[in-house]
Amino acid sequence: MSNPRFMALEGVHNFRDFGGWTTPDGRSVKTGLLFRSGHLSRATDADQAKINALGLTTLADLRQPSERTREPNILPDPAPVNMFETAHGGHDEAPHLAFLREGNLSVKSVQDYMVSAYQRIPMEPHHQHIFAQVFKQLTHDEPVLIHCAAGKDRTGILAALILLAVGVTPDQAFEDYLLTNTAVDIDALLPSIAKRISEQTQQDVEPEALRPMLGVEADFLHAAFEVIGPLDAYFERALGVTDADRQALRDTLLVQ
C-alpha cells in the first residue's frame, strides 16, 4: 500500500485522500480536503493523532444505526462541527448480514447480492439525504471525511458522485473506486472475516464465497450508475444539487 493517497493507520482500514484527480480542462481536485475510510471504532491512539491533524470539520457516517451501535466511532478530537448520520433502519440488521444469514453462499450469489446492493443504495431516500448534506458542505472548503463500514461501497458511490460532479473523468472516478483493492489484503482477511460472519449469522461460511464482498469490482459501480441514470437529473432531482451548485463545487474544490 505505497500509494501516497493512503494514510497508514493501525485500526482504520482504507483511509485515503480522494483529491488529486484531474479534469479535462487541466485542473485538479484539491488534496487535503476530501477523505474516505472505513469505520473508526478501532482507531488507536496513534491513528487518532494522525486523523486529528487533518482538521476535519465534517464527518459523514453512512452506516445505519445498528452498525453504529455495534461499532461506535472513536471520534477525532476536537469532534467535527458537522456530524451527518443516516437515521434509516433503527436497530434492524444490516442488509448484508441479513443476506449472509440466508446461507447457500457462493461467489456468484455474493456477486449478485453486491450488484443488487449497488442498485439499491443510490436510490434510497436516507442515502440521498446524507449525500445531499455532504454536497452542501463541500462548498465550505473545509476537510471532510465520508465513511461507512469498510469504506468501499456506500462510501465508494458517494466519492464517485463527488468526483464526477466536479468534472473528473469517469475513468479516474472508477480508478479511485478500485483503489480499495490495493488497500486491503483480502487473502489475509478472508479466514477471520468468514469466522466472524459465521458467528454472527449462525451459518457455515466458506471464506472464498466472501471474496466479492471484501473487495470492489467495476461491475458493482457500473450497476449503481445504471440506476442513477443521467447525472444532471440525479444531482438535481435526487440530491437537490443544481448546475449552479456544481459550479460552486468546481470553484471550491478545483485548482489549476
SS3 54: coil
The DSSP 8-state label assigned to residue 22 in this structure reads B
Q: Taking each helix axis from N to C terminus, what angle separates 125-138 and 243-253, rounded to the nearest 10 degrees?
A: 50
How many residues are present in the chain?
Answer: 256
103 in catalytic set:
no
Residue 200 CA to chain centroid, in angstroms? 23
* CA–CA distance, 90 with 82 (Å, rounded to integer): 21
Q: At which residue does the C-alpha cell 442515502 appear?
A: 127
Query: To 10 degrees, the CA torsion angle through 148, 52, 134, 89?
Result: 30
Look up residue 38 and give its three cell numbers: 472505513
CB atoms within 10 A of CB 75: 17
Among candidate residues 138, 145, 148, 160, the one labeled active-site is 148
Which residues are the active-site residues? 148
